Structure formats: C-alpha cells, structure tokens
Structure 1
C-alpha cells in the first residue's frame, strides 16, 4: 500500500492532470489546427477531447485491475519481467524526449518574446533547476504546487476577456463543417498531440486516496476543463485572425493581446506570456517526474535519478535545433507518444482480460 504521506486526494488529482496537459502546445495550437481544419479547428479540438475521454476510460479499467501498481509494474506483470523492462525503457525514452522538446520550445519562445539577448543555455538552466528541485519532493508536494498555480489559469481566462475588445469576424469560421470530415480529423490528430499529459494518470493512480471510487468522474471533469479551455482559446483566435494571418503567426495566442493598449497598462501580451511561463514549467516538471517513475521499481524513486534526468534534458536542450530539426523531432516523438499513450494501454487491457491477470500478476 502507498504510504499516507505520499498519497494525494482526488481534488489534487484534478489539478495535476490539468497542469500536465495545459502547456506550451496551446500557444501554437490555433495555427496548427487551422492548417488542415481551417475555421473548423475548434471542432477538431472537441473531437480530440472525446478521444482522450475514451482513453481515460481504458486507463481507468486497466488501473482498477491493478490499483496499487503504476504502469511500470503493470507492464512487467502482463508482458513478463524482461520484456516489460524493455517497454519501460522505451516509455522512459519517450518522456525524456517530450520533456526536452517542451524545454527547447519554451527557451525559443522566451528568447523571441521576452529575453532576446539572453543565451539559450542560461534560460534552459533557469528552467531545469527549479523543475529538478520540485520533482525530487514527494508527489504530494508536487500536487500542492500544481493546485496553487492553477489559480493563474483563472487569471489568464480573465485576461482573455480583454481580447473581446478586438474586432471579431464570425465569418472566418463559417460555414461550419466546410473543411470536411477528413481535414477535421487531421486537425484533431494535431490537437491530440498538443493535449498530451493525461497519461500522468497511469503513474499517479496508486497514490490517489480511495482510488476505487470517484476517480473516473474526477479525470473526466479534468478532461472536460482542458478541452473547453483549449476550444475557447482556439475559437477566439479563429474569429480574431483571418486564415492568412493565422498561417503567418506561429504563436497566435500571444499576438491575440498585442493590439491591446491602455493608459495604465501596456503590452498585455507580455503580461499574458509571463503568467503562461508557469503552466509551461509545470508540464516539464510532470514529464521529469514521469521519466523518473518509468524506470523506478519502488514506490519512491531515487532522487539521483531525477537529477540525472534533469541534466539529460538540459543537455539535449543545448543541442542546436533549427525549425526543421525541431519539426522532424516533434513528428517522430508524436508517433512514439501515440504508441505509448494509446496503443500500449489498450493492448495491456486486452491482454489482462485474455490472461486474466490480477493485482498479484497471477492468473485467476
């Protein structure tokens, strides 16, 4: 059983999932979905949310069969110890790459919008150090921090109200469905990659107090919140910028506030971005935690593993990355993520029913 001091509540689980999902991907999401789905990009995000909800149900059914085990242990119980370890190292590799990409993109955006003269390695170091410091704490501390900073999301929603003072053109999204089913589904695939992070459930479920009841409702509400938040921001961008403008703006969410100016407050876009740095950082913390848990046999992972993983992410972020290289890396990491986030849990659930595996890893 999980020690009481390491456990988290369902309330904390809600915010852990939100903070893991909401991150740097939102800034460019309207640009990404508009490339294929055009004005129907907001529909693509809703469909992505539906797919995620289905995956969460799969996760929940799998984890209910192994309520005291993380994905790391479940793979070994179902696939065998040797092959399970191989799979776990693939999962570890994916989380390291995902955390590295998030760090690289965050450094690039900060360099471009806030600190153009600051060397990238300094920004990366300033990001990684607090991430390591928080991750070496127990999960309850991480969860409390995520709950605390979630208030900033409400503040960001309040700031977006100011964007309604910018002229809007509802015709940019009309007629609804004009992009076609195929293009909407392609946009949905792009949105799904930006909304990754819900796989956190596979590693924190055993730590949730009384995880046999009420968890499905909690994770469903978290998914509903994230999907609604992403849909709202994307919809706002779609009716603010023309299709040609969205193609040219790589981070349209930031530019959404650039045209706003008041006598007492100026550069609202910088205020928004400065606040958004926190949700971007929590995503890196989450993936650093996931990478460390994916190769840990015990309930409490070694703090040295966290430090080593943090250093590894920092070193990868120092490698020169052109836009072309980053795009290619994103593409292959997305394929690997889908295999781990979608295919693996489904396969494990099917095998658990076929071989009737229980909590002890024995055939019933």
Structure 2
C-alpha cells in the first residue's frame, strides 16, 4: 500500500493535470492537420476522438478500482509478480520519458521560433531545466497546484479565439460533410492522438482524495480539452478559407494576427509567451511519471536523482543531436505510433486480463 498522506490531490487538480498533459504544442498545428484530411469538416473528428478517448479513460479507472491504493506499477505487481512489474515499470518509464523528452525539446523549439530566435535550443533547455527540477522534485500535489494556477492564468486565451469568430466567415464551415464521412474518418488518426495524456490516470488514481469522482473527473478533463480544441479549430476555420488554412504552419498562432487591439501590436507574441506555461503543464507531469516509475523500480521514495539525470541526459542529447524541424517530424511520427499502443491498446488488453482473472478466481472459489 502506498503512503499518500500529505500528497493527495483534489478533483480539480486531478482534472487539470490530465487536461494539461493533453494540451501541448500539437494544438498549434491542429487546424491545419485536420483540414488536410477533411477540410473544414475536420472538427467533427475532434468530437469522435473525444468519445474514443473518454471510453478508454473510463476503462483505465475501472482497472485501477481493482487496486485503489497503488499506481499501475503496484497493480502490475499484484497481478503479474514482482519481476514482471519491474519490467513493465521500466517500459512505462521509458515511454513517458520519451514523451517528456519530445515535448520538452519541442517546447524549446517553439520558444526559439516565436519568442527568442537568437537563443540556442541548448541554452533554452538548460534554462527550462531549472524550474522543471524545482517543481518535479516535489510530489504530484505540487504539480497539481501548478496546473490549476496555469489554467486560471491562461483561460483568457480561449476568449480571444471566441472573439476571432466575428472576424471570419461562418459560411466557411458549410455545408457539413461536404465529401461524406470518409474524410472525417481519416482524421481519427490525428484526433485520437491529441487526447493522449489521459493515461496518467494510471498514476494519479491512488493520490485522488475522493476516488469515487475519478470517472467523472476524466470525463470532465477530456471534455475541457475537446472544447478548447473545438474553439481553436473552428476559430481558424472561420477566419481562413478551406484552401488557405493548409498553407500556414501554425494557424493557431497566425489566426491571432486578425485580432486588432489598440494597446497591443503583436498579440500572437503575447499569447505565445503565456502559452509557454500551458506547454509546461504537459512536460512536468510526464517527467514526474517517468522518474517516479524509475524510483519505484529501485524501491526508492525520493525521485530527485532520477529527475536530475533525466534533465542532464536531455541537455546532452540536444547538444549531441541538435534538433531540427525534419527530425522533430520524424520523432513525432514514431512517438505517435507508440502512443496508440500505450494509450489505447494497453488499457483495453489489461482490462480484459483483469476481467478474465477475476472471473477465473470466482469460479475457483465456487
């Protein structure tokens, strides 16, 4: 049984931790990505992706109910034994570590591209590592509080995208399903990957104060993410024509250029400066989960040393292999493939095993 005393998180922190992990740099290119597959009908795929992600999230909660006082690592130990759990923990540590590393580097790349073009990625990663270490070395409760603060501090960004509707043409969205459902189905490869992050519920569940709210919590988290994606995507669709939107690399930022405020000249730069905090709410929990898994494998409570080495390795990696847009696209493609497996296939397979195991155990007792 885990000792969660003094580390418990509220339902609000639980919701915003999951939501924060789901929203990262991918939202900056989302309108273009779905438009390339289904034109202005791409927003429909976001809703379908929400449904699939929510069902999978609820399956994760049902799994964790079987072992409520531990994380997925403790559950694996309970069902498969100590050594199988260590192997599984190592795989999960590597998976979440890769997600954290990719998000960390991509965050630095976007900061360089939009805010500090003359600063090297290597230096940006060093600067980002300092606050990351100070936050992640603590327990998940601290990161949860940080996610709440960032959410409240940046919620006004969505208001800007709602405001952008008046600058566009709502007729760009019509007619619905112009080419039928086939193009919308093609967007599912994108629209289910944008919700990846709900699987940290495997780790958050034992820390939740009122576990009976876990299911509604993941539903609310996924719904907040869906609403944010829909507002941003629809805002870009009504501002740009169906053909024009695919010509922008980051239409989510470009759409802000149509909004004119008398007291701000470059609104998109101000918004992106705040969005850096939003991207950090994706990176930090992923770091925590990765180093937490590493510490669990070696039976350690303190995860500050694995965190330190994770950050050092991240900086060395950037120094040896300077990131580029081409490398980022290749890495993103491979990580997306892995994410399909760990976020969707793994929970369903584990749920099936747990159900069969429980059924066989009841039959043996009878």
Question: What pairs up with 1:213-224 in 2 under 5 angstroms?
Answer: 213-224=212-223
- Quick one: structure 1 residues 116 and 70, their matched pair in 2 at CA, closer, same or farther if it must change by over 3 Å? same
CA displacement, residues 224-261 of structure 1 (integer Å, 9 cap, x when unaligned): 11111111111111111123322221111110112333
> In structure 2, how many angstroms separate the alpha carbons of the residues matched to 1:119 and 1:126?
11
- Comparing 133-142 and 87-96, the one that deviates more: 87-96
The separation in 2 between residues aligned to 1:34 and 1:224, in whole angstroms, is 21
Q: Secondary structure at the match of 2:358?
A: coil
Aligned position for 1:205: 205
- Correspondence for 2:232: 233
Corresponding residue number in structure 1 for 2:7 = 6
Distance 1:182 1:87, change over 3 A: farther
Other-structure match for 2:60: 59
Unpaired runs of 5+ residues, structure 2, are none
1:286 deviates by 1.3
The whole-number CA distance in structure 2 between the counterparts of 1:357 and 1:199 is: 25
Note the 1:262-341 alignment, pairs <5 A: 262-297=261-296, 300-318=301-319, 319-341=321-343
Give the distance between the partners of 1:189 and 1:123, measured in 2 at CA. Answer: 32
1:80–1:183 Cα change, 3 Å: farther
Q: Counterpart in 1 of 2:149?
A: 148
Q: TM-score, normalised by structure 1?
A: 0.92
- In structure 1, list runs of 5 or more residues that go unmatched: none
Alignment RMSD? 2.1
Label 1:76 to 1:37 Cα distance change in 2 as closer, same or farther (>3 A): farther
Q: Secondary structure in 1 aligned to 2:260?
A: coil
| Matches of 1:251 and 1:299, distance apart in 2 | 42
Checking the alignment, whether the CA contact within 8 Å between 2:15 and 2:218 is kept in structure 1 is: yes
Which residue number in structure 2 is paired with residue 257 of structure 1? Answer: 256
Q: Give the superposition deviation at 1:180.
A: 3.4
Q: Distance in 2 between matches of 1:85 and 1:181?
A: 44
| Distance change in 2, residues 1:171/1:280 (3 Å) | same
In structure 2, the CA distance between the partners of 1:207 and 1:42, relative to structure 1 (3 Å rule), is same
Q: Distance in 2 between matches of 1:286 and 1:150?
A: 14
| TM-score, with length taken from structure 2 | 0.91
Deviates more, 1:49-58 or 1:308-317: 308-317
User: What's the counterpart of residue 75 of structure 1?
Assistant: 76
